[in-house]
Every structure is written in C-alpha cells, then in structure tokens.
Structure 1
Amino acid sequence: MAHSPGRDHVVVDLPAGRLRGGVEDGVTVFRAVPYAAPPVGDLRWRPARPHPGWTGTRVATADGPSAPQPYREEGDPVLGGHGSPPFDEDCLTLNIWTPAADDARRPVLVWIHGGGFVSGSGSLPGYSGATFAQDGDLVFVSVNYRIGALGYLSFEAEGDVIGEGGDGEAEGGANPWLTDQLRALHWVRENIALFGGDPDLVTVAGQSGGAVSTAALAGHPETQGLIKRVILQSPPFGLGLPAPEAYGERVAAYLELAGVKTVAELRALDWPELIGAGLGLFARTARWGYWPTPFLPVIDGVTLDRHPARTLTHGAAAGVDVMIGWTREEANFGFALDEGYAAATREQVTARIADTFGADRAPEVYAEYERARPGARPADVLMDLITDELFRVPALRLAEARAETGHPVWAYQFDLPTPAHEGRLGAAHCLELPFVFANFDQWAHAPFLAGLTPAVRDGLATAMHRAWIAFVRTGDPNHAGLPQWDPYDTRERTTMRFDSVVTALGDLAGASRVLYGDGLPGPVSAGTAEGAP
C-alpha cells in the first residue's frame, strides 16, 4: 500500500518494512532499496540471501554505494568513467522509477548494467529510468550486483586448498553475481506491484556483460514465469566460458596476487586489496588482439549449466520475446585509441586471424576484411575481426537459431559513428546507450558523444527509445516513427539499421555471416562446446 503524505515524497509499505521515496520531475523514485542481505563477512562469495528487513521508515531518496571496482578520478577517453564512489560491499540494492506507486500494473523494465564483469553501477546517471517512466508509462528498475573478484571468483574445487576455509569444507560457489540478479528478479516479482508495476509483464534488458546476464537469467530454472521479454544489447556471446576446473588456474593466479593461500585468508582482506589483486589479473590474462576479461562467468552445472547464448534456443526460455543487436564497430571501444594497436602490422593481424580460421585461410580472410573496408589499415581489420568474433557473428547465430525454431527475434545494428577523437571510434561499443535512454544530459561527462549534431542525435534517440518502449509494452518494437521492422528470419534476415536515416535492411551483416559460415565452433551452434569462435 502506498501513501502520499507530502507532495515531494511517497511511502510504500513492503513486507520488509516501510520505504519512503521521492518525487523528481513528476516521477516517483525509490533509491538504494535493498533486495538481498549485505554480502559481507561470512557472506562474501556466498549466494545472495533475502534481506532480513528493517524497522521504522527507511529513507530511499539517495543512491547507495556501487559495487567495489577500479576507479580513476580522471575518467577515461571514451565513457569518461563507468562507476564512481562511494563503493562498498554492502551494495545489493536497486533503484525504481515509476509514474506512480499505485495499482496500475504497468509493464516493468529491469536493467542489468554492463562493464566487462569488473565495472559499472545501476546508479549511474546515464541509467536513470526517468525517461522510460515518463515516455513509456513503465516501471523501471536498475540493479546493483557484485562484480570483479567479489562477483566472479569461483571456489568450486572441494578438497583443494583454493576451495577450503581450513576445515575441509568448500567455502563458496560459482557466480555470486548471478545469485544476486536472481534474488533481484524474485524481489521484483514479490514487490513490484506495490510500485505500480505488473509482475507478469517483466522485460529484462542489459548491455555487454549485462546482456550476458540477461540471457543467463532468461534460461535459468529459477526464473521460469518471471521474465516475459529480453533485450540483448551488444552481448559478447563469443566469449568462451570455463568450467570450474579450467577457471581454477585463474583463481590460483588471483590468490597469488592477493598474497593468500585460502579463501578464509582472502575473506579477511579488505575489499580495496581485492580490487588491487584484480588489476594484476588483467596483466596475467591479457592476450594480444583479444578483449581483456580477467573475470568470467563459470559454467558450473549448478548456478549456470550452459553458455548463456544457448539458453534462448532451448526449453521454456525459447518462448521469451527477444530483441538483440550490436554496434557496427564494437571493438573500436577498446582498441581504436590504443597506440600499440594502431601500429599493428599485417603479419600480426594475419596471425591473430589464424587463431580462428587456421593458418591456411588467414590470408584469404584478411583480404575479405580489406575488401569490406576500402583503405583499411591492419588495425581496422583487427577491430572488425574482434567485432565479428565477439559480438556480431554470435548474435547472428542466435537470431538464426531462433528463426529456425519459429521463435521471433528482432535484430538491429547501430551504425551512427561519433566524430569524437577524429572519428576513430566509429559506431563503438556502448555508443547506443544514450540513444536508448534518450537522456543525453545525463551523459554530458562522456567524451564519445562530442561533436554529434543535435538534430541527428535527438531524432535517432527518439526512434530507438520509442522502439524499446514498444517492445517492452507489446513484444514488438514497431512504432509510427520507424520503417516496418519485421522479425529476423532465415529468408529475408531483416535487420534494423539505426543511423542518421533509420532503415530496415535484409541481411545487413550478411558478409560476416557468410565469412564465418556454420562450421566454426560457437556457443549457439548445434552440438558444439561452450567455447568461443
């Protein structure tokens, strides 16, 4: 039950206790709402548990701490930063934007932030749900969850010193991050009606690592009936995900960097020490020509039983409505401004291509990428290769697999390049985010938006933002401001191209699809292992 004792705040009575939110520009907002017990002390690396509740009225008008993560005060040259203090392990909270805390049963959009499994926050200004609540009459929920070492270390090898706390008993499990998100979804199911939302009409959306999370959630046995639709923005489905045994080498390297031998000793460290050791793991796991991922989801057969890319083509999750897309030059985000990669040679890039296609095909594949981008430097070929391997081709495979089984999927490619950094970023990873949220004022700190023409920028944002709203509300992204957007099928392969002019094209990424074919390994190829292409 909601009460409105004042014009600037709203009180909601939850099973866990009374909560007081605020009213911001006509939208009712509740911030730092706890959805799970603080994962501190003995609960570090344990599965998320229900929050015990509180007495009195909890004030929910200020953001809570973000999950601990690396931080540079000077920011970065692309996003300008992806998480800012305060940080704290007691971070399992969510934020809610709603037109009103009433009984209107509006569609719900749950946002899972990305960040390479090491950064980000649901409380970032750019992830404000105000525009979705105002423009779409939706209830928007953003989630904080454990990331980096605190979310992605896995201690599954019982009997191994890595997995013991000194008493011979396994100390933790894989994928604490996923248990957080599962708990958040159950919280939404149990409570969102009190905030004007419909628990039977929930869309989960995520970008990058958050899109991997979204797919994992959609196919999880604990979420059956909880998720109606998913939006997958730039999922790096080309990542190979390890089993616990394979991941053990990475965990052992991390423990060495942290200067400890057991999980009990690791649990005694303060979280800043854990972040420092994680920075060391970046260097230990980096490979030339590959996106750095020191921490990864683990396919443990318990919390996660298959690659997330496979969940939406199997079982109950096959019936979930899906929209999936990528940016034209995803990899430019991580590589285009790196002078070391800018100086890459043809020989280096050909050797990298051989990792995927074999030495015999590598020269031919290099030539294909050159033809697709006249005047391409070796660095450009490398970035297009990484974009295809990690993002575009695995997304196409999912779209193809869905289409073959008769389950609809809408596909898009974001093509608008940014003029920032002399145009070197192109249509890079993350660039679609401010367009989807249509809140450029909240992204003023982000260098990658510099130089965009306001009229083009705002027109494209309106088209994308309204498409996301339509999909959340109906399962179909079409609206009056778009050309007809048909589901992806294996005949027309319709893909919406979001650029200064929005166009629905047949087989937009056909060159990449044909180049990679069906015979190479990949998470959504029938009968293959869980590894990357």
Structure 2
Amino acid sequence: MTAVRGQGSPVVQLATGRLRGRQEEGIAVFRGVPYAAPPVAELRWRAARPHPGWNGTRDATSYGPSAPQMFTEGGDPVLGGHGSPPFDDDCLTLNVWTPAPDEARRPVLVWIHGGGFVSGSGSLPVYSGETFARDGDLVVVTLNYRLGPLGYLSFDDEEGTPDQPSNLWLTDQLAALRWVHENIDRFGGDPANVTVAGQSGGAVSTAALAGHPEARQLLRRVILQSPPFGLYAPTRAEYRERVDAYLRCAGVADVGELRRLPWERLVGAAGGLFAHTARWGHWPTPFLPVRDGVTLDRHPAQTLLEDAAADIDVLIGWTREEANFAFALDPAYAAATREQVLGRIALGFGEAAAPDVYAAYTCSRPGAGPAEVLMDLITDELFRVPSLRLAEARAELGRPVWAYQFDFPAPAYGGRLGAAHCLELPFVFDNFERWGHAPLVAGIEPTVGAGLARSMHQAWIAFARTGDPNHTDLPRWDRYRTGARTTMRFDSVTLPVDDLAGHARRLHGRRLPARE
C-alpha cells in the first residue's frame, strides 16, 4: 500500500518519508513537499541536489516558503501582487492536488508559474490545482523554484567546476519533474502521461524542459501560454557582463562574499541590475536564461523543433495586447512621441523601413497613437511573432501544434489594458473567486466570464488528458498547419480563425536578421 488513511487525513509513503495531507472538499491536497535539498549555505548557487528525506510523518498541510523576491505591500496596479511572504532560501517545495491517492493512474498536469524570472510562486491561491483536479480528474502539481539572482545567476567559484550550470532555476524544475516521475503514482497519477504547462517565464521554462535530454523523457506534452520567446538567450560569456554588474550592485567581490549575505540583501541588489539593464521601449528583464552548454544548448523555442522534443504535443498562444500589461498604465509611455516610436521600430527594421512599419501598425488599429503602436510592436516582437514562428516551424515539420489568441479585453482602467498579459489565467484555471485582489479582472461581466472560462478550462483539461484540446462546448479546433493556420480566438464569442495573426507574421517577415 502506498497510501493509507490517518486521523481522517490522506497519508502517502514516499522513498524519502511519509506525508500527511488534507482532504478539502473531495480533493486530497499535499502542500510544501520537499523535492530537492535546501539550496542554502554552500549549496547556494549550485545545481539542485536530492533531498535527504525525513523521519516519521511530515505534515504536508501548509505551503512552503516562496522563493526570495521583491515585495511591495499593497501590490501593483495590474495583478495586485504576484508573490507574498513568507520568503526563504529554503524554497524547493511542491504541492499536489489529487482526487485520491490511489492506483487510478490519472493524467498529470505540472504547472510552472511565470513572473519575469523574478516573481511568483506555486503557492499562490490563483494557481491552486483544485479546479483541474476536480473538473478534469487530473493530478496537479505546482512548484516553487529559485528566482532572480538566486536562480538566474551563476558564478565561477573556488572549485572552478567547468560544468557548473548557469540555469539553476532549470536544475530545480528538472528535479521537480524527476520527483513527479518517481512519486506521482503514489498520488493516483500516471508518470507516463505528464503535461507541463507554464505562462510567461514559466512557458520559457516549459520549453527548456521539453528540450532537455533527460526531461523530455519525463513529459508527454506542453502548454505554452504567452512565452516571451522574443527574448535573447545569451551565452555564458555574453551574460558575464550582467553577472559582474550584479556583483557591483551587491557591493561584493566574489561569490564567497555573496554566500555570507542574507537573501534580503541579494534581492535588494537586484534592483540595481534592473536599472543597469533598462532600455526605453523594452520589457524589463535583468535576468535571462543562458545558453551555458550544460543545461541549455540553444534558445528554448528551438528545443521544440529538434530531436525527440519535436514529437511532443504543443499548445501555444498569446494574448492580443500582451505589452499593455507593462506599458499601458505608465504615464511616460502614454506620452510617447512618434519620433520615439520610430526610433524604437528602427532597431528591428532599420531606419528606412521604420515609417512604413509605423503606418502598417496604424492601419491595423485605426486611431492608434504612438503609445498604441509601441505596445503592439512589443507584443509582436516579444510574444506573438516568435510564437507564430514556432507554430509555423512545427507545422512545416508535420509536428503536432495547436495555436490560440486570447482576445477578451479587460474593462479595468477604462479598457486601457485590453487583452493584456496574464488576463487569460483566471479563465484557464476557472477560479475567478481567487482573483478578487487583482485590478486586471475588475468589471468582467460574470456570465461572459464564466462561459469563456468554461471553454478554456475544459480545452486545457482535454489537452492534458489526450493531447487534443477539443471538447463538446468548443467549436472544432484544428491543428495549426501552414495551409490553414487555424488559430482559436478566445473571446466572448470563441471561434477558430484562419491566419488570425497573419498581419503580424507578414510584417515581421521584413525584420532585420536577428542575432541568433
């Protein structure tokens, strides 16, 4: 027996020790389960290592601490916050929701949160797996992993190890996926039927896992929500400048000094790196995935086109106005001039083409001013066009891929946010009651929101169960193919559209060659 009952609570025996969870409205929940050794002291800035286990029965009814990150009391004007205390270095835990810890071998959904590589937590109520477990008969796993300087920087240290990975965050996620493979059957899950899903930075993580030689054997399909594949993935040598800049921001000379600092000092120094790397008209991303030749050989998007990863089922999509999330409420960007935006366009298209590209954007959105053109440009560069290119490339290879665009606009702030980055999340999880703190969802009409949430939530469930997102309450959703380019348009009326983002695809075909 791998699961027993104890004092009315579900109990599961793992190789590392026994866990006692909690029964919540028919769902068994196990929180704060360690999946790797605490990355503290000498293990700080080292790859994730196996957890040594524990004696007796471990209480698994409370979330573990979230990864250290910046935190502002009162949150932000869009999400209302994306991480909350407690925070701690010892953060490598995961959470499991299951209809029952039995031998049913249910499909497994692993969720990787986003947050620009600097924020977020698998312990946030908005990412609770209960709706997927209950509505889809799935076993759901969410996880915490190292963020910001603790997860996205690495240092040459006294050992001089040549294969020290740069992407410590990826070693965490790989350790969690390995834990799922080895243990999820004890929670009623099927380790041979695992879907990994992620949004924003979490979608980049998901793609990186799909291309990792070990991880690709541990998952069957992926869901990529708003992946910022337009970000450049530097080499270790190219990233060195940021590592050195961070050391200066922290006021130390080497990693030995950093290991002696409290995490609060480390997170505080990240603010200096934000300032150091900021560029007008670009999404702020001081920390990036690195092509280190150890954990990541190529850009994460490329990993889904090569070797065994090409056979993984892929669902990919974006929101219509992704960049509004970061720019629409900023007065400095609202006051952007045509000349400023032309200069930003010229970075990708060249000065000669910039006026024509500007005109093309104003034609695609009548009445658009410089700020709207800029936001559409950033949306295309960072999210929509790179996602389209991945869908196109997989379609040309004959590999399975489904594409969507989320078009439903947020009424908040007089509609200025539009269909912004992150807005699809409460619809995918179908848990609006957990989003009351987020201004982003304020004013959404309940009946419209419920219908759209049902369509998306059930599509994600169907895909996790079978590799096909179609279900009875959704119009027929065909795979993306170069001949038809079917893209599901999720809105108050949801319909498949042929080549929905064709304007952006054709326009950005004129861009200057990229660095990579």
TM bucket, shorter chain: over 0.9
Aligned Cα root-mean-square deviation (Å): 1.1
Taking structure 1 as the reference length, what is the TM-score of the superposition?
0.95
Would you say 1:22 and 2:14 are equivalent positions? Answer: no
Contact 1:45 1:172 in 2 (8 A): no
CA contact (8 A) 1:164 1:171 kept: no
- The residue that corresponds to 1:261 in the other structure is 253
Q: Which residue of 2 aligns with 1:237?
A: 229
Q: Which runs of 5+ in 2 are unaligned?
A: none
> Are 1:58 and 2:55 an aligned pair?
no
What pairs with 1:397-412 in structure 2 (closer than 5 Å)?
A: 397-412=389-404
Kindly indicate whether the alpha-carbon contact (under 8 Å) linking 1:324 and 1:411 is maintained by their aligned counterparts in 2: yes
Give the 4+ runs in structure 1 shifted more than 4 A: 167-172
Relative distance call for 1:170 and 1:266 in structure 2 (3 A) is farther
| CA deviation map 1:37-80 (0-9, x unaligned) | 00000000100001000001000001110000000011001000
Asked if 1:2 is matched to 2:3, the reply is yes
Alignment partner, residue 290 of structure 2: 298
Kept after mapping to 1: 8 A contact 2:350/2:512? no
* CA spacing shift, 1:325–1:419, aligned 2, 3 Å: same
Deviations 1:339-390 (A, max 9, x none): 0000000000000000000001000000000001111010000000000000
Measured against aligned partners, the alpha-carbon deviations of 1:6-55 in whole angstroms (never above 9, x if no partner) come to 33x11100000000000111110000000000000000010000100000
The one-letter code of the counterpart of 1:336 is A
Query: Which residue identity is paired with 1:164?
Result: D
| Change in CA separation of 1:407 and 1:224 when aligned onto 2, cut-off 3 Å | same
The one-letter code matched in structure 2 to 1:352 is R
Partner of 1:428: 420
Residue in structure 2 matching 1:354, options 343, 346, 358: 346
8 Å Cα contact 1:45-1:173 kept in structure 2 = no
Secondary structure in structure 1 of the residue aligned to 2:265: helix
Q: Does 1:135 align with 2:101?
A: no
Question: For 1:302 and 1:139, how far apart are their aligned partners in 2?
Answer: 31
Query: How far, CA to CA, are the matches of 1:60 and 1:515 in structure 2?
Result: 52
- Which residue does the alignment assign to 1:84? 84
Partners of 2:311 and 2:233 in 1: CA distance: 24
Partner Cα separation in structure 2 for residue 56 and residue 34 of structure 1:
15
Deviation at residue 315 of structure 1 after TM alignment: 0.5
Corresponding residue number in structure 1 for 2:206: 214
Matched with 2:48 is: 48
Q: Is the partner of 2:217 in helix, strand or coil?
A: coil
Aligned 8 A contact 1:333 1:428 in 2: yes
Q: Contact between 2:201 and 2:227, CA under 8 Å: does it hold in 1?
A: yes
User: In 1, are the aligned partners of 2:455 and 2:474 still within 8 Å (CA)?
Assistant: yes
Is residue 2:321 matched to residue 1:329?
A: yes
The structure 1 residue matched to 2:172, chosen from 155, 176, 180, is 180
Q: 2:138 and 2:241 mapped to 1: Cα distance?
A: 44
Deviation of 1:517 after TM superposition, in Å, equals 1.4
Q: TM-score by structure 2 length? A: 0.98
Instruction: Quote the Cα distance in structure 2 between the aligned partners of 1:15 and 1:402.
Output: 39
Whether contact under 8 Å (1:126, 1:434) holds in the other structure is: yes
SS of alignment partner, residue 517 of structure 1? helix
Aligned to 2:109: 109
Contact kept? 2:163, 2:294, Cα under 8 Å: no
- CA distance in structure 1 between the partners assigned to 2:211 and 2:427 by the alignment: 28
1:480 corresponds to = 472
- For 1:518 and 1:198, locate their aligned partners in 2 and report how far apart those are by CA, in whole Å: 46
Between the aligned partners of 1:140 and 1:306, the Cα distance in structure 2 is 29
Whether the 8 Å CA contact 2:106–2:138 is kept in 1: the answer is yes
Give me the whole-angstrom Cα distance separating, in 2, the residues matched to 1:518 and 1:55.
62
| SS across alignment from 2:82 | coil
Matched ranges for 1:326-475 at <5 A: 326-475=318-467
Write the deviation string for residues 110-149 of structure 1: whole angstroms up to 9, x where unpaired.
Answer: 0000000000000000000000000000000001000000
Alpha-carbon distance in 1 for matches of 2:163, 2:255: 7
- Matching residue's letter, 1:110: V
Residue 170 of structure 1 and its aligned partner are, at CA, apart by 6.8
- Cα distance in 1, alignment partners of residues 103 and 512 from structure 2: 51
- The CA deviation at 1:171 is 10
- Does the CA contact (< 8 Å) of 2:103 and 2:188 recur in 1? yes
Q: How many residues align?
A: 515
2:216, 2:264 → 1: CA distance? 37
Tell me, yes or no, if structure 1 residue 122 matches structure 2 residue 122.
yes
Residue 192 of structure 2 corresponds to which residue in structure 1? 200
Residue 136 of structure 2 corresponds to residue 146 of structure 1:
no
Question: What secondary structure, in the 3-state scheme, does the structure 2 residue paired with 1:312 have?
Answer: helix
The answer to whether the aligner puts 1:271 opposite 2:263 as a matched pair is: yes
CA separation in 2, counterparts of 1:231 and 1:482? 18
SS at 2:433 equivalent: helix
> Which residue, out of 147, 156, 164, partners 2:157?
164
Partner of 2:310: 318
The answer as to 2:492 corresponding to 1:491 is no
Q: Take 1:143 and 1:491, find their aligned partners in 2: how far apart are those partners?
A: 39
CA distance in 2 between counterparts of 1:123 and 1:300 reads 29
Find the aligned partners of 2:266 and 2:388 in 1 and give their Cα distance.
37
Q: 1:478·1:484 contact (CA, 8 Å) conserved in 2?
A: yes
Instruction: Give the distance between the partners of 1:222 and 1:5, measured in 2 at CA.
Output: 36
Tell me how far 1:5 sits from its aligned partner. 2.6
| Counterpart secondary structure, 1:94 | strand
* Distance in 1 of aligned mates of 2:227 and 2:70: 22
Contact kept, 8 Å, 2:221 with 2:314, in 1: the verdict is yes
Question: For 2:59 and 2:17, how far apart are their aligned partners in 1?
Answer: 11
Structure 1 CA distance for aligned equivalents of residues 398 and 315 of structure 2: 15
Tell me how far apart the structure 2 counterparts of residues 466 and 268 of structure 1 sit (CA, whole Å): 48
Contact 1:171/1:263 (CA < 8 Å) preserved in 2? no
The Cα shift of 1:4 comes to 1.4
**Contact 1:154/1:247 (CA < 8 Å) preserved in 2?**
no
Aligned to 1:525: none
Distance 1:4-1:342 versus aligned 2 partners, 3 A rule: same
Give per-residue Cα distances to partners, 1:248-275, cap 9 Å, x unaligned. Answer: 1111110001010111011111100000
Matched position secondary structure for 1:289: coil
Seq. identity, %: 70
Q: Distance in 2 between matches of 1:18 and 1:337?
A: 49
Q: Distance in 2 between matches of 1:329 and 1:312?
A: 25
Q: CA deviation at 1:224?
A: 3.2
Structure 1 alignment gaps of length 5 or more: 156-162, 523-528
**What CA deviation, in whole Å up to 9, does each residue of 1:155-199 have, x standing for no partner?**
2xxxxxxx234x766795301000000000000000000000000
CA contact (8 A) 2:78 2:440 kept: yes
CA distance in 2 between counterparts of 1:97 and 1:511 reads: 42
2:423 partner amino acid: L
Distance in 2, Cα, partners of 1:340 & 1:401: 37
Instruction: Give the conservation status (yes or no) of the 8 Å contact 1:32–1:60.
Output: yes
The 8 Å contact of residues 166 and 292 in structure 2, kept in 1 or not, is answered as yes
Displacement of 1:401 in angstroms is 0.2
Letter of the 1:511 counterpart: H
